Amino acid sequence: MSTVATPGTPQPRRRTRAENRDFRRDSLITAAISVVARHDITGATVERICEHAGVSRGLIGHYFDSKEQLLVVALEFQFNRAVRIKYAIAQDTALTPVARLNAMAAASFEPPIYTVDEMSSWQAFTNASRSLPAFRPPIRYAGRALHDLFEPQFRAAAAERRLDINGSRVAFGLVTLLDGLWNSLATGKDDADPEEAIATCQLFIEGCLKPV
């Protein structure tokens, strides 16, 4: 039985050629993240990525020079999204500096930054970076970018409380803590959960802003 569109019902707009190209490229990137999460770096084959994205095997060559480039772009995509989300929180003038710090830290353990796929793929990329240098620049960039977001918030919070702290060092400490908590959650070695991770970050932030 055929379906007849109701007169006056808006029909879905067709994507332009450029939009289709972006859609397919983004599909490959998100598929790469999911496949890495499920099969690790070594198991993230072109066949699996394309199957997950629902595209033909040869399509990767239209958007990326190699599978390695696709994986690097997927890693950059993960980190850039996390930085953008935290940047938006850092710009929220309705929050106090301490509230911004807590919200930025908590975002690391909430969707869309924190999901099973995101956590598992991050762990796989991080482990692989020891032997695959191509993954190191995005990881270093993300660490620096997060440090540069946290540092002015720590300085502002300290100024509000009339404290003298080393904003750079405490920002480095928080970024390091976030990495460690992600590692703990990804491996399950400490039986921690996201709520405990958020509470740990809040304790660290408050501890850095207590008068000596």
Domains of the chain, start order: 74-208 (1.10.357.10)
Nearest alpha carbon to residue 141 among 113, 169, 175, 173: 175
Residue 10: pLDDT band (50, 70, 90) is low
What's the CA gap between 99 and 160, in Å, rounded?
12
pLDDT of residue 57: 85
Q: What is residue 13's predicted lDDT score, i.e. its pLDDT? A: 66
- Residue pair 123/40 in contact by the 8 Å Cβ criterion: no
CA 55, chain centre distance (Å): 25
Q: What is the pLDDT of residues 52-77, one digit of tens each?
A: 999 988 889 889 999 999 999 999 99
195 vs 18: which has the higher pLDDT: 195
Whole-number pLDDT of residue 12: 62
* 121-136: burial string, b at 16+ Cβ within 10 Å, e else: bbbbbbebbeeeeebe
Q: Name which residue leads in pLDDT, 204 or 13.
A: 204
Letter for the amino acid at 153? Q
- Residue-wise pLDDT for 38-55, tens only, equals 999 999 999 999 999 999
CA angle 131, 135, 137 (to 5 degrees): 120
pLDDT of residue 2: 43
Q: What is the rounded radius of gyration, in angstroms, for the C-alpha atoms of the chain? A: 21
pLDDT for position 188: 86
What type of residue sits at position 178?
L
Question: 105-158 pLDDT, tens per residue?
Answer: 999 999 999 998 999 999 999 999 999 999 999 999 999 999 999 999 999 999
% of the chain exceeding 90 in pLDDT: 80
